[in-house]
Copies of this chain bind each other. A is one copy, B any other.
Amino acid sequence: MLAERVEARLAEAGASAESRSAAVRAMLHASRLGIDSHGVRLTEHYCRMLGGGRLNKAPQLGVDKRGAGSAMVDGDDGLGHYAAYRAVDVGMELAREAGVGAVGVRRSSHYGAAGAYALAGAEQGFVTFATTNTDSMVALFDGAEKFHGTNPLAFAAPVPDSQPWLLDMATSSIPLNRVLLHRSLDKELPQGVAATPEGEPTRDPFAADMLLPLGGVDYGYKGAGLAGVATLFSALLTGTTLDPEFIPMYGGEDISSPRNMGHFVLVIDPDKFAGRAVFAAAITGYLASLRASAVRAGGKVMAPGDREWDVLERRRAEGIPLDPDTIRFLGL
C-alpha cells in the first residue's frame, strides 16, 4: 500500500517506470529498517526535483566497462537510486568473473541510504561496499566551516540462514536531523558532535551550526579522514562534484540544474578468495563468537545490522510510522 502510493506519486511527477521503481525500493529499505530520514518522506522532495528539472524523468543509464573488474555508470541525471542499483548489478556481473567489481557512478543525484546498495549485493551472496559524498555539513577536525557531507560508508556481507551483516554509518557522529530534534525538544546534545559557526564544540542545539566528525573533539581526525575516503571513492575517482560545491539538496533556489553527484560500489565474490564455503563458515563462527561475548551491566552486544533487523521485524508487525506531512502528501 505504502509502496504503491510512493510509486504513484513518482509516476505522477513523471519518473520513468524503471527509475521510480529503484527509488521506491531504496526508500522502502530505509523506512522498513528505521532510517526514516532516507525513507518515504523523501517522496515529496524527489517529486519536486522531477518537476523542477534537476532530475531527469526518463534517464537512459550508460555503462562503460573500463576493465575486467571496473566500470563507470552514467546516471543521466535521474533519480540516484536507479543509477546506484545498476552499479551494484554491474559490480556483481564483474565480480562473478573477475572476483571483484568496482563501479563508479557519475551524473547521479541523492540516493538515500547507502546501506540499500551494500545490502543489494549481500542479498546475492557478495561482500559489498557502497559510499557516496553528500552536501557539506560537517567541519573538518579543527575546522570552522562545513566541509564534508555526513558521507556514509556502508558494508554488507551474506550470512548463511540469516539476514546479512550490515554496517551503514555516517562519518559524523550524528545526522543533522538529530540537531533539529534536540532543538524541538530543547534538549542538550551529547558532547563533541556539533559546533558553533566558529568551530567551537557546543552542546546547545540552537548554537549548533555544523556537525563534527566521528571521534569528536579528541579523535575527529579519524572521522574526517573517513569522510575523505567517501569523497575519494565517490567524487575524485569519478570526477564528480566535491562536497562543498554541490547545489544544495534543500533550500536552494536552483532546482533545475543537475548536481552531478558521484557514488562508488565495490562488489567482492567470496568464492574468488578462500572460497564460498570457507567464508560462510568463517562469518558464522565470527558472529557466534561476537554474540557470545561478555556484556557490560545493562548493555547488549549486537552485530552491525542487528538493530535494523529488529526494527524491520517490529515494523512488519506494527507498520511504518509516518510524519503528518508525508501522510498528507501520499494521501494515506
Contacts and interface: CB of A to CB of B under 8 A. Distances in A.
Contact of A199 (B233, B272, B295): B295
A214 B213 CA distance: 11
A296 interface: yes
Interface stretch (A3-11, A27-35, A139-147, A321-329): A139-147
A142 B70 contact: no
A300 B67 contact: no
A244 B302 CA distance: 17
A218 interface: yes
Given A97-B68, A165-B232, A143 B238 contact: no
Nearest to A72: B273
Interface string A261-275: 000001011101111
A121 interface: no
Given A70-B99, A97-B67, A218-B173, A237 B142 contact: no
Contacts of A214: 214-215, 219, 222-223
Nearest to A170: B222
Interface in A95-130: 97-102, 104, 106, 127
Given A236-B283, A286-B231, A301-B141, A147 B102 contact: no
Contacts of A303: 228
B72 A274 contact: yes
A200 B68 CA distance: 49
Q: Which 6 A-B pairs have the closest CB atoms?
A: A70-B99, A142-B299, A199-B296, A67-B99, A69-B69, A239-B274
B300 A142 contact: yes
Nearest to A94: B69
